[in-house]
Amino acid sequence: MAEESNTTTSRREFLTMVGAAGGAAAMYQAMGMMGVAHASTYDGPIQLERAPEGTKVLVLGAGIAGMIAAMELRDAGYEIEVLEFRDVAGGRCWTMRAGDTYEELGGFTQTVDFAEGNYFNPGPWRVPYNHYGILDYCRRLGVELEPLIQINNHAYVHSVDAFDGKPVRYREINSDFRGHISDLLSKVTDQGALDEMLTEEDKENLLAGLRTFGALNDDNDYVSGNAASSRRGYERPPGGGVDGAPIANEILDLSTLLDSGLWSRLATSEALNGSMPIFQPKGGMDMIARAMADNLGDLVKYRKRVTQIRQDEDGVSVTYEDLENDGAEATTSADYCVCTIPFSILSQIDHDFSGPLTNVIQTMHYAASIKVGLEFNRRFWEEDEHIYGGTTYTDLPISQISYPSNDYLSDKPGVVLGAYSWGALAYQYSSIEPEDRVRRTVEWGSQIHPQMPDEFKAGVSVAWHRVPWTLGCYGIWQDKEAQYEDAVAMDRRIVCAGEHLSYLPAWMEGAVLSSLDAIRRLNETAITAAGE
C-alpha cells in the first residue's frame, strides 16, 4: 500500500508540474499518456425502457449533451421541451462564418469577414478516432467527416531562444531525438550495463531494433548521412539527371538538441486523444450541432434565458426570460429535468438543488482559453513551405498554429488557427481588444511565417472566459474525487450532464457519455416512480 501511495503522489506532483508549465491541454495530454485519461467507454446506442405515458422531461441547454438527451428521451416516448439561451444550438460546438457577429463580455463586437465558404471553429475542432460516441452520432445523423491532420512532420517547432529564433521542421527534431536516444541506449547495451536485465539474444534484438528505430549506422552510431537524412530531410533531396544524387544534411548534436527544449513537443502525437486518425466535419464543427438541431426541430425553444429552477414532489418548474418576446417572463414545467447549463452559469441562476450539488456548482471554475482565427489571401504555408495540414508549436504567446486540413492547393483565401493558448496567457491575451489580439497574433506568427503581415486578410478571436453563455472553456473541479458522485447523482427530479461531469473534460465525447449516463438514470427513476 505504501508503494502504491508513493506512486500516486509522484504522479499527481508530475501532472501538477506539467499543468503549471504547459497548461490544461498539456496536462491532459500527459494524463492520456500515463493512462489516467481514457478513451471513450461508449459501446453502442443507448437502450431505454419505454417512458411512462404522459411523462415530460425539460432539457436546459441545447449543446451536445442537451440535444443528445432530448433525442434519446424523445425516442423513448417522453414529451420533450428544450430551452436554449442562444439563437442557435450547439453551445461550444460552434463555427464562425462570413457575416457572423459575436459580442463578448465587455461589449466588444466582432464581425467575421472571411471569404464565402471559409470558417473558424473557436470551440471543438477535432474528433479523435476513439471518441466512439460522437462518431456514432455523426454516422446516424449523416454528418460527413474528413481527416484532420494533427501532426505534420513538415510543420515546425519553434522557440524564441533556440536557433536564433528560427523555426525548425518537426521531422528534424523528432528524427534527431530518436536517433540520439537510440545511439545512447545502444552504447549502454554494448557496455554491458543491461546484462542483468537482458539475455544475449535480447541484446541482439534490441540493438537491431535501435538501428531501425533511430536510423543508426552499422556501428550503432547516429551520424550525419543518408540514413539520418532519409528521416530528417536532405540538404539536396534525391533527384534525377546530372545532379540527382542526394546530399545529406547535418544532424543536430545532442547537447544543442536538448538545450533547445523543442523535443518537449514530440509527445503530442502519442497522446491517446491526439493520435491519428482524427476527423472534422466537412464545412465546420457545428455541422454536428446543426444535424442534431434539425433532428429535434421545434422541440428546441431558442432565446430563452433561464432565471429560476424549482422542484418538488410533483415535478420541476423553470422560469425564464423570453428574449423572443422582449424578455417577457414565462414559466414551464415538467415531470423531470436534464440540466446541461455549465456550472459557471448555473451558479448565477436561482435554484433549489441539494446542498452537495450546490457546493459543486459553486466551487467549480472554468478554464481560460483563447483561439484566434486568421484568414490569408493565399495559402502561403502550402505554396511556399509545402505544409499541408498539421500544427506548428511555439513558445510564443500564440502557442501553436494549425493549418487547414481542407481545400488543399486551392487558390482561394485560407484560414489558419493562428493562436490557441491557455491559462495565464489566455487572460493576458484577452485583456486587449479583439482587433489588437488579431494584430498581435499576426505579428507573433510572422516570426515563424514572415509572409503573414503581407498576406493577412481578416481575423477573429474568441476568449472563452469572456463568452457570455459559458464564461470559460471547460469545468475544473475543486476536488473531483470527493465531489463527483454528488454532482452526477439524481437530485430528486433533476439530473445534470455535460463535459464537466465526465472524465473526458473539454471533449464533446465527455458531453456524450455524461448525457447518456444521466438519461439512463433518469429513465430508471421515472420507471420506478411510475410503478409505485
**Of 7-11, 335-339, 501-505, which range is least confident?**
7-11
Count other Cβ atoms within 10 Å, centred on residue 244: 10
Listed by start position, the domains of the chain span 1-37, 56-86+297-363+479-531, 96-154+276-284+368-466, 169-260
DSSP 263: G
- The whole-angstrom separation of Cα 512 and Cα 500 is 11
pLDDT bin (cut points 50, 70, 90) of residue 270 is: confident
Pairing mode, strands 328-334 and 315-322 = antiparallel
Question: Torsion over CA of 429, 421, 63 and 140, rounded to 10 degrees?
Answer: 150
For residue 9, what pLDDT band results from cuts at 50, 70 and 90?
very low
23 vs 464: CA distance, rounded Å:
15
C-alpha radius of gyration, the chain, whole number: 26
CATH annotation of 96-154+276-284+368-466: 3.90.660.10
> What CATH number does the domain located at 56-86+297-363+479-531 have?
3.50.50.60
How far is Cα 387 from Cα 148, in angstroms, rounded to an integer? 13
Q: What are the tens digits of pLDDT across the range 102-136? A: 999 999 999 999 999 999 999 999 999 999 999 99
Which position has the grid cell 464565402?
116
Q: At 92, phi and psi to the nearest 5?
A: -75, -10
Residue 151, pLDDT > 80, answer: yes
Q: Which residues contact 80 (CB under 8 A, 6 or more apart)?
A: 56, 57, 59, 70, 73, 74, 296, 299
Contact between 66 and 82 under an 8 Å Cβ cutoff? The reply is yes
Cα separation, 296 vs 267, whole angstroms: 41
Alpha-carbon distance of 69 to 73, in angstroms, equals 6
Instruction: Map 448-508 to HEC letters.
Output: CCCCHHHHEEEEEEEEHHHCCCCCCCCEECCCHHHHHHHHHCCECCEEECCHHHCCCCCCH
Q: How far is 222 from 184, CA to CA, in rounded Å?
A: 9
Distance CA 236, CA 269 (A): 28
Residue 45 CB neighbour total at 10 angstroms: 13
Burial of 147 (0-12, 13-18, 19+ CB in 10 A): middle
Whether the CB-CB separation of 253 and 241 falls below 8 Å is answered with: no
Give the span between the Cα atoms of 146 and 350, in whole angstroms: 43
Q: Is the pLDDT of residue 55 over 60?
A: yes
**What's the mean pLDDT when you consider all of the chain?**
92
Task: Check pLDDT > 90 for residue 16.
Answer: no
CA dist., res. 387 & res. 213, Å (int): 25
* pTM score over 0.85: yes
Which of 3-12, 298-307, 313-322 is the least confident region?
3-12
- The continuous run of DSSP H or E covering 247 comes out as strand 247-248
Which ranges of 59-162 does DSSP label H, i.e. alpha helix? 64-75, 132-141
- Which residues are bridge partners to 448 per DSSP? none
- Residue 321's DSSP bridge partners are 305, 329
pLDDT at residue 69 in the model: 98
Q: What's the residue count for the chain?
A: 532
Mean predicted confidence (pLDDT) in 515-523: 98
What proportion of the chain, given as a percentage, has pLDDT over 70? Answer: 93
Distance from the first to the final alpha carbon of the chain: 46
pLDDT of residue 272: 76
Q: What angle do CA 208, 214, 217 make, to 5 degrees?
A: 65
Secondary structure (H, E, C), 395-458: CCCCCEEEECCCCCCCCCCEEEEEEEEEHHHHHHHHCCCHHHHHHHHHHHHCCCCCCHHHHEEE
The per-residue pLDDT for 38 is 56
Q: Which of 246, 250, 275, 251 is nearest to 174 (CA)?
A: 251
What is the CATH T-level fold of the domain 169-260, as seen in this structure? de novo design (two linked rop proteins) (1.20.1440)
Bridge partners of 320, per DSSP, are 306, 330
Beta carbons of 130 and 39 less than 8 angstroms apart: yes
Mean pLDDT of 68-81: 98
Position with higher pLDDT, 442 vs 271: 442
CA distance 287 to 57: 26
Band of residue 275 on the pLDDT scale cut at 50, 70, 90:
confident
Q: Report d(CA 528, CA 532) in Å as an integer.
A: 7
Nearest Cα to Cα of residue 362 among 345, 376, 375: 345
pLDDT digits (tens, 9 = 90+) for 414-434: 999 999 999 999 999 999 999
Q: Which residues pair with 103 in a beta bridge?
A: 109
- Beta-sheet strand order (sheet of 328-334): 328-334, 315-322, 304-312, 350-351
- Model confidence at 12: pLDDT above 80: no
Segment 442-472, tens digit of pLDDT: 999 999 999 999 999 999 999 999 999 999 9
Residue 39: pLDDT band by 50, 70, 90 thresholds? confident
Supply the pLDDT for residue 10: 42
